[in-house]
Amino acid sequence: MVTGATAAETATAVTRPRQAVIDAAWRAIGPGVELLSGDDGGPLRRTVKRIIDPLVLRLRSNTQYSAPFLDESVAAAMHELIVGSGPALCATASWFELLKQQRRRLRITTGNAQELYFPVCYELAVTKGPPAADDAETAASVLRDIHADRDRTAIEVLNKHVADRRVLTGLSEQLARSWADVSAGTEDSRPFLSGLTIVLGPARSHREVTSRQRVWAKLVTDATPYNYGAKARCAPGELPWSITDTGLSSVEPQQPPPIDRGATGDRPLDRAVVDRVRATLRRALDRDELPDVPLLCAEEVDRSCAPWGLLAEENQAALVAGIEVAVELAPLAETTPRYQLAAVIQARLRKEAYVLHARRYLVAGGPIHPRQQQVIDDLAVFARPYLNRLWARLHGRDVWQEPCTDVDDVRSILEGVARSVSLDHRQRIKAMLQVAG
């Protein structure tokens, strides 16, 4: 008889994580791509995002390469395609080195070099081959074109861009294609949920801390977060929780977001693509680190169509971990959360003076003032503001490609979001008392 664990192992044996396929193919190219590689020898995140996915694999037309897990035939084809592009990728690295030299010579300091130059370097590699000895002026000319009129990311530029009906039509067509590309797999979710008990549990020794990090590294590549996000659109009843009860969406099943302002709600998964881009620009401390507005909009369409509105696997996993924590938080109730981290957060919330005050009101059973009722109502649905804040934080990390692979970092985010929401509650209560006074 095949056990559940063996069945799960058998299911995963016939598929390979997409990230692992890309990494293995990249290493098979050999020397020549070091400038596009990380310290570990694998491709940089931006190499995958700006070169491999859009230009080598051409995901828009080869959607079979976009799944988080690939069967052997697709993985083999993808490996062959990346390795076959080795000469062009080596030439891309050479062009990138030349552009960086000319960037220094021209004293250009704005913009992220990888984000801005990787695609054009690949284009040069494909059309011209490796740079020749007299190609320095070609590189300088390319840089001048890229950096001309650099006020690219102002809100006004975004407003002007999306005022063009042709732009909105193109983004709408892209959204329809990208939304249709996402479908749920049949992988068993129990190993992921079981692993969360370790990730969100205590670690009393160095060995347990190391084990917790190892488990999180496995959960990041698990198909469950992706599948849950896909099921939110087609089979929400199969999820362990409701996306409307938790406040992530105003409707079930989740619907595609509008491109520009629509009649949808303001929940995280309902927000229009343009509103998401606008929020990114407002939060950005250094807009020169962002891609141009047209590319930023196109990337946000793909992001909004990805499960949970997040592209990175680790951010999807972190959000699911956050949902599991959020549904356990009930500051006014006498409950014991399943996860140790949720219990720590809950205990901290219950010590807040405004929470203690609200609990006393409820125990007394007397009439409740409308202002106090508002506080009680907010605490009764603590998961909603919590997940709203968590999603926004993970969305920002997704845009800036900040990794979420360190388990202690993830736990810190989950705790910090609860403190942030609690502070909001305190500030609102203070404002109400000032008005009353």
Tens-digit pLDDT profile for residues 282-295: 887 666 678 888 99
Residue appearing with tokens 């396929």: 21
> According to the model, what pLDDT value does residue 324 have?
98
Contact 114, 44 (CB under 8 A): yes
List beta partners, residue 43: 37
Can you tell me the distance from the alpha carbon of 51 to that of 119, in angstroms, rounded to the nearest whole number? 6
> According to the model, what pLDDT value does residue 409 have?
95
Long-range CB pairs of 196-202 (<8 Å, 24+ gap) are 196/321, 196/324, 196/339, 197/338, 197/339, 199/321, 199/407, 199/410, 199/411, 200/321, 200/324, 200/325, 200/339, 200/340, 200/341, 200/342, 200/411, 200/414, 201/339, 201/340, 201/341, 202/340
Can you tell me the distance from the alpha carbon of 154 to that of 147, in angstroms, rounded to the nearest whole number? 15
Angle 247-249-254 from CA coordinates, rounded to 5°: 150
Angle 178-63-51 from CA coordinates, rounded to 5°: 90
Tell if the pTM clears 0.85, that is, is over it. Answer: no
> According to the model, what pLDDT value does residue 378 have?
76
> According to the model, what pLDDT value does residue 15 have?
82
> According to the model, what pLDDT value does residue 333 have?
83
70: CB partners within 8 A, 6+ apart: 15, 16, 17, 18, 21, 64, 78
Can you tell me the distance from the alpha carbon of 23 to that of 52, in angstroms, rounded to the nearest whole number? 11
Low-confidence ranges of the chain (pLDDT < 50): 1-13, 434-437
Q: How many CB atoms lie within 10 A of CB 85?
A: 21
Can you tell me the distance from the alpha carbon of 4 to that of 8, in angstroms, rounded to the nearest whole number? 6
Can you tell me the distance from the alpha carbon of 76 to that of 135, in angstroms, rounded to the nearest whole number? 36
367: CB partners within 8 A, 6+ apart: none
> According to the model, what pLDDT value does residue 363 have?
62
